[in-house]
Amino acid sequence: MSASREKKTRREMAASGTPDPKQARKEEERMKQRRSNMLYGIIAGVFALVAVGLLISRIWANYVIPARQRNTIAVTVDGVDYTAGEVDYYYYNLYNYWANHQYASYIGLSANVDRKTTNLNDMAKMLTGVNNDPTWKDKENVTWDEYLKDAALKSLIQVTKVGDLAKEAGYTFTDEMQENLDSNLNAMKDAAKNYGVSFNTYLRYLFGSNMTKDTYVKIWKQYAVASAYKDDHEDSLTYTESDLEAYYQEHKEDLDVVSYEAIFFNGVPATKTDSDGKTVEATDQEKADAKDAAKKAADAALERFKAGEDLETIAKDYKDIAQYSKVEKGTHIHNAVGEWLFDEKRAADDFDLVESDPSYYVVLFHSRGRTTDRTVDVRHILFSANTSALDKNAETYEADVRAIKDAAKKKADDALAQWKAGEATEDSFAAMANELSEDPGANTNGGLYEKVYPNQMVQAFNDWCFDESRKSGDTGVVETSFGYHVMYFVGDNVPYWQLVADQELRELDQSKWLEEQVANATVTQEKGMEYVG
């Protein structure tokens, strides 16, 4: 797809009510970096408890598949043979990812779709990266099955090559990895029980008819070791402030934010239904009238603004078709308004009427610049107040909830008092976090969360961290939906724009490194590929 056609497609999506551009493009950029980062190798745990709702209709998964089929060699990578079942692991991890994606309904993928005959639509090609992948010669006719097989093979090749490096470096399957594997298997066993099916049947629901427990475990272990090495390599990448500044200067359009006000005038006809409640398609005349009404209202609003009225007040007189918005930190949306706002010539107090067919905007520009929000480092000790096991219909429910919360709060208050009575240092707080915290993501590193950015955490946690009066060494107890947190404020870290630049540079360099590892791989597809998927 050409650049101009892709831009046209995005605008058409926005005009038709498809989620736009900003979110879609962010997802596209994320995917562009992560496609080559073994993303789909170990994602099964994420979907173990949710995918069945979508995939349970695969009744063929109950069929008995001949062992010779699932054990037929599908691909050989540098002399290592992989069966159809082993390739299926990656195929269905990726399928599950897209089938459960926030844009699943827009990319045309579901359990009812025939993947062998259904082509990726424009949005799917944009998000999956097919548009920018030169290996796809006929981008207009890529089926979901072709895409999934191709991506599965790429992941498998990377795991093989990075796994070889891991072995050379002395990496092995650790006790912690085994604990994670056991946890994953137990979660799937519990899900299978909840759905009234056997564990093996559940595996086939998730990973296709060729999957067995032995195959799942084998591939999981291989991926875990390779992933550990890959993650350590990524962690070893470092960048100076000069590196980050240079990256910013090259990518201002993506890293800058704008402050502006706008009135949106909707040029789409109001939805109508017939006597059966079905939506009636608007006529060409109705579409033209709606667009004309939006244009006239926008023209009138612009004249009133020129005469000195503010946009918010003006918008109130056009409630039926207009909506006012004030945006302090808007990112670059690839539509007509976004292009206008991010024009290099744009200056403070510029205003204009911008057409985004069939609608119109009256836009007032205030400023543009890099995101200077600070990030912070904070430690916490979580005392969980999990009430999910309680019977909501029980007469004592509210009292039971209160009892659980009170118990968690008491633990938090006692822990803070104990810390204050001791050395009361950051090190002693970290030691207490390792001993007492119920946050599995931070109870082995002293409860530390680094470079936390605004609104990353739940509201109460966020508000405490970014209180304007907050200073190093501050402590407190915060209640969130997770329970009670004993907080310790370490201090400010880098500006948010530097965090984003660092992350994007890291992803780019990691992707290049992975591409280098697979460049000389010898890959041969065998008969078993016809059984994959």
- Structure confidence by residue, pLDDT tens digits, 360-381: 999 999 999 998 899 999 999 9
Domain for residue 161, yes or no? Answer: yes
DSSP characters over 76-129: EETTEEEEHHHHHHHHHHHHHHHHTSTTHHHHT--TTS-TTTPBP-HHHHHHHT
149, 282: one domain: no
- Structure confidence by residue, pLDDT tens digits, 302-351: 999 999 999 999 999 999 999 999 999 999 888 899 999 999 999 999 99
Given 353, 370, 387, the domain boundary residue is 370
267, 363: one domain: yes
Contacts of 463 (CB under 8 A, 6+ apart): none
- Structure confidence by residue, pLDDT tens digits, 287-302: 999 999 999 999 999 9
Answering whether pTM is above 0.85, one says: no
3-class SS letters over 334-382: CCHHHHHHCCCCCCCCCEEEEEECCEEEEEEEEEEEECCCEEEEEEEEE
Q: How far is CA 256 from CA 19, 30, 366, 394, in A?
A: 22, 17, 13, 52
Least confident of 101-105, 260-264, 491-495: 101-105
For residues 250-262, give the mean pLDDT. 94
- Structure confidence by residue, pLDDT tens digits, 145-167: 999 999 999 999 999 999 999 99
* pLDDT at residue 219 in the model: 94
225, 115: one domain: yes
Cross-strand bridge partners of residue 376: 452, 492
**C-alpha–C-alpha distance, residues 518 and 498, integer Å:** 30
Instruction: Find the domain containing 82 and state its range.
Output: 3-232
Contacts of 225 (CB under 8 A, 6+ apart): 163, 166, 167, 171, 172, 173, 177
From start to end of 231-280, where are the E strands? 256-265, 272-273, 279-280
Q: What is the dihedral of CA 30, 35, 41, 43, to 10 degrees?
A: 30
209, 319: one domain: no
- Structure confidence by residue, pLDDT tens digits, 195-205: 888 999 888 88
Domain for residue 94, yes or no? Answer: yes
Nearest to 97 by CA among 151, 51, 133, 129: 51
Given 232, 267, 283, the domain boundary residue is 232
* pLDDT at residue 238 in the model: 96
175, 310: one domain: no
Domain for residue 239, yes or no? Answer: no
Given 330, 354, 370, the domain boundary residue is 370
